């Protein structure tokens, strides 16, 4: 459609909105552009903690490997169970975990059995000790039991030769235990992703330096350190690079040689984008995007000579929000990790939340339960992208859709708990 009259203010606003890339579209574009790293290494079980499995692990055995008891009680033959009334059985021995009963149960007999002990030959059912009456070697069992009860079958947890852990799975405590239960001492894991970071800005001082007028301490360097550490990557901290074309170019070149990924903060907003852009145009293919999210509109993404590049905005909250929403899932994809989206829950807003439609909003919230046990969320207060204390006070993002207006107290909102995200 052609405009015969100059575009109105609303048209301009719409034009600007359509320029913006939604978080999901940005994530999809990044994912399409990235190939997971190929390198892998072998390591011992404990060293595999928090690493990503590089190839499917199949089970060398059945777990449980033998039929065993789920309870302390009496092993009997299910065919002895009375349909009504009671039955008397004779206790002929004991089976301990690790010390099986050496013999066979005949009809009319029972063996005292402990949890985890092998169910003796001839038995297929375990009666809980609380449900049996014993006097000397005489055992009385009432009706109401099912044949096969309280018995763990072979391969019930894991079947031999089956895939127990698929490639891409992150190894946590449960996985370590699972591998140990199979007697597996070594695993093949993805090599660590090498991630370099630096902060840009002439106003930035490092800890230990004295602040001059107009200067601030570089906090992004440390929040990035923490967020990367939680991902268990190899982090190369290149410190502060001042707004000097030569220094920036050198830093980009070095990072591209030593890292798989470079993450910078600052210098991609309108004020200085052209300047970083010039440097990057000579070194690789980088897109300067405007993301439809708040905080954190500007984001650079592309390929340097060898490293993948993420240029995050400078404001401390924007750094953390863009990292969690965009960079972190992208790094997990690069690490070959299966990437599920973080869990979002519905919670009642305890108060009015300011919101202007336009960009998906990631407000900082404090999630709790009210007296009825229902989830309730309140704001941390000032939502400025420079209020880093809001990230520390918060335990969740309140995720408001781009087209949402203000939220009234009592309305339901979506929240994304930090637990699990960090
Ligand atoms: P920029 O994106 O470079 O225009 O920076 C936006 C805002 O973030 C400015 O107020 C900067 O001073 C601040 N900022 C940039 N980098 C950092 C950093 N590493 N630590 C703390 N604040 C920063
Ligand atoms: Mg700057």
DSSP codes, 226-245 = HHHHHHT-EEEEEEEE-S-H
Ligand nearest the Cα of residue 222 is 1
Residues, the chain, total?
A: 422
pLDDT band at 280 (very low <50, low <70, confident <90, very high): confident
Structure pTM?
0.87
Instruction: Locate 309 and state its tokens.
Output: 């590049």
Residue 161, by phi and psi: left (phi above 0), alpha (psi -120 to 50) or beta?
A: left
- The per-residue pLDDT for 17 is 55
Q: How far apart are CA 157 and CA 116, in angstroms?
A: 14
110 DSSP β-pair partners: 91
Helices (H), 240-334: 245-258, 270-283, 316-322, 328-334
C-alpha of residue 33 to centroid of ligand 1, in Å: 28
Mean pLDDT of 5-19: 46
C-alpha of residue 232 to centroid of ligand 2, in Å: 28
Classified as helix, coil or strand, 196 is strand
Q: How far apart are CA 386 and CA 271, in angstroms?
A: 17
Mean pLDDT of 343-354: 97
Q: How far apart are CA 53 and CA 128, in angstroms?
A: 40
Classified as helix, coil or strand, 337 is coil
Residues of the chain with pLDDT > 90, as a percent, come to 86
- Atom 5, ligand 1: residue with shortest CA distance: 314
Instruction: Locate 298 and state its tokens.
Output: 């500007």
Residue 390, by phi and psi: left (phi above 0), alpha (psi -120 to 50) or beta?
A: alpha
Scanning the structure block, which residue is given the tokens 């960009």? 359
Using CA atoms, how far residue 332 sits from 4, 256, 340, in Å, is 49, 19, 10
C-alpha of residue 1 to centroid of ligand 2, in Å: 39
pLDDT single digits (tens) 224-263:
999 999 999 999 999 999 888 889 899 999 999 999 999 9
Through-space distance between the first and last CA atoms of the chain, rounded to whole angstroms: 47
Ligand nearest the Cα of residue 220 is 1
pLDDT single digits (tens) 22-63:
999 999 999 999 999 999 999 999 999 999 999 999 999 999
pLDDT band at 275 (very low <50, low <70, confident <90, very high): low
Q: How far apart are CA 421 and CA 16, in angstroms?
A: 31
Q: Within 6 Å (CB) of ligand 1, which residues are found?
A: 199, 201, 203-204, 216, 218-221, 265-267, 269, 271, 313-316
- The per-residue pLDDT for 306 is 92
- The per-residue pLDDT for 3 is 37
Mean pLDDT of 90-101: 97
pLDDT band at 19 (very low <50, low <70, confident <90, very high): confident
Would you report the helix, strand and coil content of the chain in percent, each value rounded to 5? 25, 35, 40
Burial 133-164 (b: 16+ CB within 10 A, else e): eeeeeebebeeebeeebbbbeeeeebeeeeeb
Instruction: Locate 166 and state its tokens.
Output: 């698929």
pLDDT single digits (tens) 374-417:
999 999 999 999 999 999 999 999 999 999 999 999 999 999 99
User: 201, 209, 263, 312: which to mutate for ligand 1, most atoms within 8 A of CB?
Assistant: 201
Query: Do 143 and 82 meet the contact criterion of CB atoms below 8 Å apart?
Result: yes
Mean pLDDT (the chain) is 92
Ligand nearest the Cα of residue 384 is 1
pLDDT band at 278 (very low <50, low <70, confident <90, very high): confident
Given a cut of 50, is residue 4 above it in pLDDT?
no
Query: Do 262 and 255 meet the contact criterion of CB atoms below 8 Å apart?
Result: yes
C-alpha of residue 210 to centroid of ligand 2, in Å: 19
- The per-residue pLDDT for 18 is 61
Instruction: Locate 153 and state its tokens.
Output: 């079958």
H-helix or E-strand spanning residue 30: helix 23-33
pLDDT single digits (tens) 186-201:
999 999 999 999 999 9
Query: Do 297 and 200 meet the contact criterion of CB atoms below 8 Å apart?
Result: no
Given a cut of 80, is residue 131 above it in pLDDT?
yes
Given a cut of 80, is residue 118 above it in pLDDT?
yes
- The per-residue pLDDT for 56 is 97
Instruction: Locate 314 and state its tokens.
Output: 């400078």
- The per-residue pLDDT for 6 is 41
Residue 327, by phi and psi: left (phi above 0), alpha (psi -120 to 50) or beta?
A: alpha
Bond prior to 295 in cis (omega within 30° of 0): yes
For the ranges 11-20, 270-279, 302-311, 324-333, which has the lowest average pLDDT? 11-20
Residues of the chain with pLDDT > 70, as a percent, come to 94
C-alpha of residue 274 to centroid of ligand 2, in Å: 12
Q: How far apart are CA 312 and CA 196, in angstroms?
A: 13
Helix axes 270-283, 245-258, angle to 10 degrees: 50
Q: How far apart are CA 360 and CA 294, in angstroms?
A: 6
Q: What residues contact residue 230 under an 8 Å CB cut-off, 6+ apart?
A: 422
Which atom of ligand 1 is nearest the CA belonging to 271? 4
- Atom 6, ligand 1: residue with shortest CA distance: 314
H-helix or E-strand spanning residue 110: strand 109-113
User: 264, 290, 315: which to mutate for ligand 1, most atoms within 8 A of CB?
Assistant: 315
C-alpha of residue 200 to centroid of ligand 2, in Å: 6
Instruction: Locate 304 and state its tokens.
Output: 């340097």
Q: Which residue has the higher pLDDT, 273 or 54?
A: 54
Q: Which residue has the higher pLDDT, 321 or 276?
A: 321
């Amino acid at each position: 459609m052609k405009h015969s009259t100059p575009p109105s203010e609303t048209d301009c606003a719409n034009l600007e909105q359509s320029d913006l890339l939604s978080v999901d579209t940005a994530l999809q574009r990044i994912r399409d552009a990235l190939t997971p790293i190929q390198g892998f290494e072998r390591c011992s079980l404990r060293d595999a903690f928090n690493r990503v499995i590089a190839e499917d692990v199949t089970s060398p055995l059945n777990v449980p490997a033998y039929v065993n008891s789920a309870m302390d009680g009496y092993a009997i033959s299910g065919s002895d169970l009375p349909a009504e009334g009671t039955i008397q059985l004779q206790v002929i021995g004991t089976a301990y975990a690790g010390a099986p009963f050496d013999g066979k149960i005949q009809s009319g007999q029972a063996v005292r059995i402990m949890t985890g002990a092998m169910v003796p030959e001839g038995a297929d059912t375990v009666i809980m000790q609380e449900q049996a009456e014993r006097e000397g070697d005489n055992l009385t069992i009432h009706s109401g039991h099912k044949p096969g009860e309280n018995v763990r079958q072979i391969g019930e947890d894991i079947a031999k030769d089956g895939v127990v852990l698929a490639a891409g799975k992150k190894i946590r405590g449960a996985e370590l235990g699972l591998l140990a239960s199979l007697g597996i001492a070594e695993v093949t894991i993805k090599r660590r992703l090498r991630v370099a970071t630096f902060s840009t800005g002439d106003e930035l001082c490092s800890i230990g330096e004295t602040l001059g007028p107009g200067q601030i301490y570089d906090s992004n360097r440390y929040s990035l350190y923490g967020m990367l550490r939680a991902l268990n990557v190899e982090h190369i901290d290149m410190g502060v690079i001042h707004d000097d074309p030569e220094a920036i170019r050198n830093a980009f070149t070095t990072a591209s040689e030593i890292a798989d990924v470079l993450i910078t903060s600052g210098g991609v907003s309108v004020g200085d984008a052209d300047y970083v852009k010039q440097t990057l145009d000579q070194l690789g293919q980088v897109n300067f995007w405007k993301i439809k999210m708040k905080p954190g509109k500007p984001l650079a993404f592309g390929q340097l000579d060898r490293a993948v590049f993420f240029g995050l905005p400078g404001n401390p909250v924007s750094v953390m929000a863009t990292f969690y929403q965009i960079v972190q899932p992208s790094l997990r994809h690069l690490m070959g990790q299966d990437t599920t989206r973080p869990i979002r829950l519905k919670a009642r807003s305890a108060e009015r939340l300011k919101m202007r439609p336009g960009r998906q909003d990631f407000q900082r919230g404090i999630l709790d339960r009210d007296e009825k046990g229902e989830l309730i969320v309140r704001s941390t207060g000032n939502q400025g992208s420079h209020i880093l204390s809001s990230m520390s006070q918060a335990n969740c993002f309140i995720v408001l859709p781009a087209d949402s207006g203000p939220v009234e107290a009592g309305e339901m909102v979506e929240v994304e708990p930090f637990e699990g995200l960090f």
